[in-house]
Chains A and B, each alone.
Chain A
Amino acid sequence: DTAVSQTPKYLVTQMGNDKSIKCEQNLGHDTMYWYKQDSKKFLKIMFSYNNKELIINETVPNRFSPKSPDKAHLNLHINSLELGDSAVYFCASSHLSGDPRSGNTIYFGEGSWLTVV
Chain B
Amino acid sequence: GQNIDQPTEMTATEGAIVQINCTYQTSGFNGLFWYQQHAGEAPTFLSYNVLDGLEEKGRFSSFLSRSKGYSYLLLKELQMKDSASYLCAVRAGGGNKLTFGTGTQLKVEL
Residues in chain B near residue A109, CB distance under 8 A: 42
Q: What total of chain B residues lie within 8 Å of the partner, measured CB to CB?
A: 21
B103 lies within 8 A of A45 (CB): no
Residue A27 at the chain B interface, CB threshold 8 Å? no
Contact B41 A110 (CB under 8 A): yes
B85 interface hit (Cβ, 8 Å): yes
CB <8 Å contact, A31 and B41:
no
Q: Which residues from chain A contact B42 at a C-beta distance below 8 Å?
A: 90, 108-111
> Which A residue sits closest to B100, measured CB to CB?
A43
Q: Is the CB of B50 within 8 A of A106?
A: no
Q: Are A42 and B97 in contact (CB under 8 A)?
A: no
B33 proximal to A (CB < 8 A): yes
Which residues from chain A contact B98 at a C-beta distance below 8 Å? Answer: 45, 106
Write the nearest CB–CB distance from B50 to chain A, whole angstroms.
6
Asked if B31 is at the interface (CB within 8 A of a chain A CB), the reply is yes
Contacts of B33 in A (CB 8 A): 103, 105-106
Contact B100 A42 (CB under 8 A): yes
Interface size class on chain A is 20 to 34
> For residue A96, which residue of chain B has the nearest CB?
B96
Q: Is B95 in the interface zone, CB < 8 Å from A? A: yes
Residues of B within 8 A of A50 (CB): 95
Q: Is the CB of B87 within 8 A of A43?
A: yes
Given A103-B50, A105-B45, A111-B42: A48 in contact with B96 (beta carbons within 8 A) = yes
A64 interface residue (CB < 8 Å to B): no
In the complex, whether B65 has a CB less than 8 A from a CB of chain A is no
Give the residue among A41, A96, A104, A111 with the most B Cβ atoms within 10 A: A41
Which A59-117 residues sit within 8 Å CB-CB of chain B? 90, 94-97, 102-111
Q: How far is the CA of A48 from the CA of B87 in the complex (A)?
A: 20
Which A residues are within 8 Å of any B CB, using their own CB?
31, 40-45, 48, 50, 55-56, 90, 94-97, 102-111
- Chain B interface (Cβ < 8 Å from any Cβ of A): 31, 33, 37, 41-45, 48, 50, 85, 87, 91, 95-100, 102-103
